[in-house]
Amino acid sequence: MRLFWHRRDLRVADNRGLAAAADATGDDGAVVPVFVFDDDVLAHGAPPRVRFMLDALAALRDDYRDRGSDLVVARGDPAEVLPELADEFGAEAVVWNEDYSGLARERDARVRMALDAAGVARETRHDAVHHEPGTITTNQGDPYAVFTYFWKKWRDREKADPVDPPAGDDLADAVAGERLPGIADLGFEEPEADVQAAGTDAARDRLDKFCEDAIYRYDEDRDYPAREATSRLSTDLKWGTIGVREVYAATEEANAETAAMADDTVEDDDAVEAVEEFQSQLAWREFYTQVLWANPEVVTENYKEYDRPIEWRDDETAIEHLAAWKEGRTGYPIVDAGMRQLKEEAYMHNRVRMIVASFLTKDLLLDWRHGYEHFKEHLADHDTANDNGGWQWAASTGTDAQPYFRIFNPMTQGERYDPDAEYVAEYVPELASISADNVHSWHELSVGRRRQLAPEYPDPIVDHSEMRERALSMFKRARGEV
């Protein structure tokens, strides 16, 4: 008998640790799947993520029940709960998949010690990434700090196939599972946002839909938020409701089909490039995973050191500006549309995440940590490594960060990536009936004209050109140049 401890791998299929536990049970036992609600982890939770996690756990439990088994649910410190459960079920070992953040590694070290003390064996597998941290390195053996080099090695390295789910008789017969708690039992309110459906079936539906068509136009369309051209798999990949091998295998299948599907609108080579562009996003996820693994302190510290501290604004006006940014009332339409999408859907399109992050750090001169904390509270897909990587990139403080002097202009970004202002119209109803030209030149219109066109929508809270100059000076001071 073995316990399999689910953490961020809320699925039965393509689960390496679970498959390993099942393989090892032999004739004299079976696997008991377990999930532990850990109060230390919940302390970092937020309503959209907890909602998705509970829905994913309900789907996981149903999957086990369909296979004649069940999910055992417990609450407490895993270092105490797991040895107790091992004793209760007479399990000789506990198996789990590795997690790479600093907090997770500290917890796992405590669990290992507790199991050793209780005489229970433990085993782990790498599951959440194709190539675990520390295996793709520079020629000197150091972790990469530049994505392009990491990507080339990642792309060329062989990828494992998805692993089969355990056979029904490798799973323990229905064990008396505790009722899954409700969100209020865990101390959270229902999220305001409409969080997407959770579970392996929902993730597979998203993957299938994406691979039918959008994947072949991914490189052309991915930057246009109104086109809905991306996979929307980030929350699934964060919680592991689908395996990375399964996702990659689907992209390879799409690649194989390019010859067959080439039609008048998509050339063969373009389709192959589009699929590769998508695969490179999967590699970004693993790049940031290894950055966090090698530098756990980046959760709160700048990755890149400047000679002097960056003088982020923190006066009363800055705090008011932060509130306006959070509410989607900055008077910059594409920024406000993004912030409102976040509130409504617990999700934001990638291009718009870059725009709002640049706006916070380079137009409002506010510390990226404010933005990171807000995303952590509101994104269902919040992932420490990716969120931190994205914010530090935008703030010019991270690995591979954009240079401090490259500052997004929110109006031209809107004009370029939302030319018909469709995305803005969807999330900012006050602007839905005005022309795209007026939306994209909102900052240039007279106050009278703005009141006439959209009386409810705010004037820009800052002047982009002026703030751009201030941002450049702020970074030059931090670099010791002035």
Minimum distance, C-beta of residue 299 to ligand FAD, in the bound complex (Å): 12
CB of 389 to ligand FAD, least distance (A): 6
367 belongs to an annotated ligand binding site: no
Report, in angstroms and rounded to the nearest whole number, the Rg of the chain calculated over CA atoms: 24
**Minimum distance, C-beta of residue 224 to ligand FAD, in the bound complex (Å):** 12
Q: Is 283 annotated as a binding residue?
A: yes
C-alpha 157, offset from chain centre: 23
Query: Do the annotations mark residue 284 as ligand-binding?
Result: yes
382 is in an annotated binding site: yes
Under the binding rule (CB under 6 A), the answer on residue 166 touching ligand FAD is: no
Sign of CA dihedral 236, 237, 238, 239: positive
**Does 390 interact with ligand FAD (rule: CB under 6 A)?**
yes
Rounded to the nearest whole angstrom, what is the least distance from the CB of residue 390 to ligand FAD in the complex?
2
Q: Among residues 122 and 370, whose Cβ is nearest to ligand FAD?
A: 370
Which residue in the set 238, 326, 340, 443 belongs to the binding site for ligand FAD (CB under 6 A)? 238
Nearer to ligand FAD, 120 or 394 (CB): 394
Residue among 173, 161, 128 nearest 32 (CA): 173
Residue with smaller CB distance to ligand FAD, 137 or 281: 281
- The residue type of 316 is E
Q: Does 375 bind ligand FAD (CB under 6 A)?
A: yes
Give the whole-angstrom CA distance, residue 128 versus residue 143. Answer: 18
Binding site annotation covers 118? no
The least distance separating ligand FAD from the CB of residue 156, rounded to whole angstroms, comes to 19
Residues 283-312 that bind ligand FAD (CB under 6 A): 284-285, 288
CA angle 232, 100, 346 (to 5 degrees): 30
List strands edge to edge, sheet with 93-97.
Answer: 72-75, 31-37, 2-6, 93-97, 121-125
**Residue whose tokens read 């912030």:** 339
Give the whole-angstrom CA distance, residue 348 versus residue 359: 15
381 part of the interface to ligand FAD, by CB under 6 A: yes
**In the bound complex, what is the minimum distance in angstroms from residue 236's beta carbon to ligand FAD?**
8
Q: Given the structure tokens 């390295």, which residue do they identify?
A: 157
Among 124, 137, 255, 281, which residue sits at the site for ligand FAD (rule: CB under 6 A)? 281
Is residue 5 marked as binding?
A: no
> CB under 8 Å to 39, separation ≥6 — which residues?
75, 76, 77
C-alpha dihedral sign at 29, 35, 38, 44: positive
Helix (H, G, I), strand (E, B) or coil at 3: strand
| Residue of this chain nearest to ligand FAD (CB atom) | 390
Nearer to ligand FAD, 292 or 357 (CB): 357
Q: What's the token pair of residue 211? A: 């691979």
How far apart (Å, rounded) are the C-alpha atoms in residues 83 and 116?
9
Which parts of 208-237 interact with ligand FAD (CB under 6 A)? 222, 230-234, 237
Q: Which two tokens stand for residue 75?
A: 């609450």
93 binds ligand FAD per the rule CB under 6 A: no
Q: Smallest distance, Å, CB 313 to ligand FAD? A: 19
Two structure tokens written together for 342: 């976040």
CB burial string 206-228: b at 16+ within 10 A, e below: bbeebbeebbbbbbeebbbbbbe
Residues in the site for ligand FAD, rule: CB under 6 A? 222, 230-234, 237-238, 281-282, 284-285, 288, 350, 353-354, 357, 375, 379, 381-383, 386-387, 389-391, 394
Annotated binding residues: 218, 230-234, 278, 281-288, 381-383
